[in-house]
Structure 1
C-alpha cells in the first residue's frame, strides 16, 4: 500500500533533516542529489522546514555565491538546548549543548559523602541552572543523566540501589520540576557504550560488549546494534559475577566477592602495591588508571622477547629499561632472593591484571559471543593496546570463540558524551517528528 501524501512528506522531511545533521549545511541541489527526490519535492520540503523553524539559510555555496541555487540550508542549532549530566558518588559534571550537540558550557561540582539529600540535590540542580545561563540557554529542552545503578525498564527511573546516595534518585524529578525539561536517566555504562559505538572504539561493530573499568566494574551489551537492558534493567551487572580468586561470594546486596573484587579501582591499586609499583598522583584520572597507564607505557617502551605480553596467565616477559615511564618500584621494596628484577614489575603487574580481567570477560564471551570486547572507563583507556593484547591472548586460551579486545577511545568522558547523544537523539526525534494528522 503506497504511503499517503502526508506520510510521504514526513518521511522526506526526516530524511532531509538527518542529512543536514550528518553532512552539515547543504544546498537544495545537494539535497536533491543525496535524497534522489525531484526538484519540486525538495523545494516543497525546504519551504516546510524553514516555516517550521527547523532549518534556515546559513550561507551560500558555489563560484558565484548568489541566487537561490547557491543558498546553503542548515539545521537551526539554537531551536533547542540540551544538558548532559555525569553523576558520580563524589560529584556531578554537566555539559550544555545546542540541538546539533555543540558544547556551549561545562561545569562540575563535588558533592561530599556527608552532604544531606536535599542539599546535594540543590547543588546539582543549581549547577545545571548556572551552566545553562552561561550557555545562553533560556530553556533546556531535554536533559539526560548518566548514573551508576539500575534503571527500571518500566518507569525509566533509577532504582533504589544499596550503596548509592539517595540524592541520585531524587535528582531527575528535581530537574524536571525546576527546569520544566524532559529528563531522561540511563545507566552510566550503557551510555559509555553508546558513545563508543557512535564516536569511539566500536564504530565498526554492531555487536560488542563494553567492560567498564572505573571506580567499580560493569558491562554494557550491544547486540545487532541494539542496547540490551534485560528484564529488570540489570544486564551487565558483572561486578556481582562469582569468579575464582576471591575470598568469598557476592550477595544480593554486596558485590564484594564477585568480579568487583578483582577489577575495581581499589583492587587494581592493591594489585599494583603487591607488585611494588607506585606512580605520581594526578587529578586528571583515578589513581588506579594512573598506575595502569604508567605500567603500560613502561611495558611498551621495552624490547619484548618473543611472545612477551601475550602469554597466558603470568608467563615471563623480556627485560629492558623502563626509565621512560613514570611508574617505578616502591622505595621500600625488597625483592626476594631469585625474584625477577624490579624493572620487570610493570609487565608482571599487567600480566596479573590481564589474568584477572580475562576471567570476567571470558564469562561474558561464553554467554554472548560478542566478537569484540571494549575495555571502557578510565582504566580501560589507560591500559591501551598493551593491556588489551594481553587480555585478548588470555581469552583465546580460555574460549573457542574468537574475540577481539580493544581499549576505549573515550575513557571516562564517554559517559558524558553518551548522555549528550541520548539527549540530542530524543530532542531531534520530538522536534523532527511529523505533525499530528
Structure 2
C-alpha cells in the first residue's frame, strides 16, 4: 500500500534532516541530488522545516551564484540542549551539548562515600543545572545517564544492585523533576559499546563484544547491529563468570571469586605490583590503567633499545618484568573472553575502558594470540579507541538520538 501524503512528507523530512546532520549545511539543489526527490518536493520540505524552526539559512555556497539556489540550509543546533552524565561511585561528570551533539560545557563533581543519598543527589543535580546555565540553556530537552548496574527492561530504570550507592537510582527521577526534561538511563558498558561502534574501535563491525575493563568487569554484546540486553537486562555481567585461578566462586550476592577477581582494576594493580611494575599516578586515570600503560611503554622502549644495541628485542630486566606482567594479564583476559567467544562467536572483541585503551595494540595482540589457542572460532581483538570517555560519548549519542527522533518529526500539513 502506498504511503499517505502526510506519511510521505514525514519520511522526506526525516531523510533531509538526517542528511543535514551527517553532511552539514546543504543547498536545496544538493538535497535534491542526495535524496532523489523532485525540485518542488524539496522546496516544499525546506519551507516546512524552516517554518517548524528545525532548519535555517546558515550561509551561501561558493559553487553557486548568489540567490535562492546558493542558500545553505543547516539544522538549528540550539533548538534543543542535551546533557550526558557519566555516573561513577566516586562522582559525576556531565557534558552539555546542542542538538547536533557539539559539546558546549563539561563539569565534574566528586561525591564522597559518606555523602548520603539526599546530599549526593543534590550535588549531581546542581552540577547539571550549573553546566546548563553556563551555556545559556533555559532548559534541557533530553538527559542521558550512563551508570553501573542493570537496567530493568520493563521500566528502563536502574535496578537496585548490591554494592552500588542508592543515589544512583534516585538521580534520574530527581533530574526529571527539577529540570522538566526527558531522562534516559543506560548501563555504562552498553553506552561504551555504542560509542565504540559509532566513533571508535568497532566502527566497521555490526557484531562484536566490548569487554569493559575498569573498576569492575562487564561486557556489552552487539549482534547484527543490535545491542542485546537479555531477559532481565543482565547480558554481559561477565564479572560473575566462574573462571580458574580464583580461591572461591562467585554468588548471587557478589562477584568475588569470578572473572572480576582476576581482571578488575584492583586485581590488575595487585598483579602489576607482584611483578614489580611501578608508575606515578597520572591525572584522573586509574592506578591500574597507569600501571598497564607504564608496562606497555617500558616494553616498547625496551624492544627498541635492545634491537638498536644487538638486534634482540625486550633486552634488560625491566623489559622482562613488563613482559611477564602483560603475559599474565593477557592470560587472565583471554580466559574470560574465550567463554564469550564460545557462546556468541562475535568475530571481534574490543578491550574497552581505561585498561583496554592503556594496553593498546600490545595487550590486544597478546589476548588475541591466546584466544587463537583457546578457541577454534577466529576472533580479532582490538584495543579501545575511546577508553574511559566512551561512556560519556555513548550517553551523548543516546541523548542526541532521542531528541532528534522527537524533534525530527515535524507536524505535516
CA shift at 1:435, angstroms? 3.3
1:309 — aligned with what? none
Q: 1:434 to 1:63 in 2, by over 3 A?
A: closer
Measure the CA separation in 2 of the matches of 1:425 and 1:267: 37
For residues 209 and 412 of structure 2, the distance between their equivalents in structure 1, rounded to whole angstroms, comes to 39
One of 362, 367, 371 as aligned partner of 1:391: 367
Task: Say yes or no: does 1:233 pair with 2:223.
Answer: no
Q: In structure 2, what is the equivalent of residue 296 of structure 1?
A: 296
Aligned 8 A contact 1:189 1:212 in 2: yes
Q: Which residue of 1 aligns with 2:327?
A: 351
Counterpart Cα distance in 2 of 1:124 and 1:319: 47
Match of 1:320 in 2: 315
Instruction: Give the deviation of 1:320 after TM superposition.
Output: 2.0
The structure that is helix-richer by fraction is 2
Give SS of 2:130's match: helix
How far has the Cα of 1:318 moved from its partner?
A: 4.8
* Residue 136 of structure 1, CA deviation: 1.1
Q: Distance in 2 between matches of 1:137 and 1:379?
A: 35
Q: In the alignment, is the contact (CA less than 8 A) between 1:148 and 1:188 conserved in 2?
A: yes
Alignment of 1:184-203 (within 5 A): 184-203=184-203
Contact 1:58 1:73 in 2 (8 A): yes
Instruction: Give the structure 2 partner of residue 431 of structure 1.
Output: 407
Q: 1:205 to 1:14 in 2, by over 3 A?
A: same
CA displacement 1:62-119 (0-9 Å, x = unmatched): 3465200000000000000000000000000000000000011100000000101000
Number of residue pairs the alignment of both structures matches: 406
Change in Cα spacing, 1:436 to 1:155, as seen in structure 2 (3 Å) is farther
Aligned to 1:373: 349
1:130 corresponds to 2:160: no
User: Is the contact between residue 299 and residue 386 of structure 1 (CA under 8 Å) also seen in structure 2?
Assistant: no
Q: Give the C-alpha shift of residue 299 in structure 1.
A: 1.7
Q: Please, what is the CA RMSD of the aligned residues?
A: 1.3
Q: Deviations over 1:355-396 (max 9, x none)?
A: 000000000000000000000000000000000000000000
Give 3-state SS (helix, strand or coil) of 1:212's partner: strand
SS at structure 2 position matched to 1:100: coil
Structure 2 match to 1:204? 204
Task: State the partner residue of 1:98.
Answer: 98
Counterpart contact for 1:354–1:387, Cα < 8 Å: yes
Partner Cα distance (1:162, 1:75) in 2? 44
Q: Would you say the 8 A contact 1:214–1:264 is kept in 2? A: yes
Could you say what secondary structure the match of 1:96 adopts? strand
Contact kept in structure 1, 2:89 and 2:165, CA below 8 Å: yes
Q: In 1, are the aligned partners of 2:299 and 2:314 still within 8 Å (CA)?
A: no
Offset of residue 46 of structure 1: 0.3
In structure 2, distance between residues paired with 1:109 and 1:199: 26
Which ranges of 4 or more aligned residues in structure 1 deviate by more than 3 Å?
A: 434-437
User: Structure 1: any 5+ residue segments left out of the alignment?
Assistant: 305-316, 322-340
Hey, what's the Cα distance between the residues in 2 that align with 1:431 and 1:201? 30
How do 1:34-433 and structure 2 match up within 5 A?
Answer: 34-63=34-63, 66-303=66-303, 318-321=313-316, 341-433=317-409
| 1:408 Cα deviation from its structure 2 partner | 0.3
Distance in structure 1 (CA, Å) of the matches to 2:65 and 2:81 = 31
User: What TM-score does the superposition give when structure 1 sets the normalisation length?
Assistant: 0.91
Task: Give the superposition deviation at 1:157.
Answer: 0.2
8 Å contact 2:299–2:319 — kept in the other structure?
no
Between the aligned partners of 2:188 and 2:389, the Cα distance in structure 1 is 10
| SS of residue paired to 1:302 | helix
With normalisation by structure 2, the TM-score equals 0.96
Alpha-carbon distance in 2 for matches of 1:260, 1:364: 15
3-state secondary structure, aligned to 1:363: helix
SS of residue paired to 1:108: strand
CA distance in 2, matches of 1:372, 1:105: 34
Structure 1 match to 2:307 = none
Alpha-carbon distance change, 266 to 389 in structure 1, aligned in 2, over 3 angstroms = same
Q: 1:100 to 1:342 in 2, by over 3 A?
A: closer
- Deviation per CA, 1:331-374: give whole Å up to 9, x if none: xxxxxxxxxx3441001100000000000000000000000000
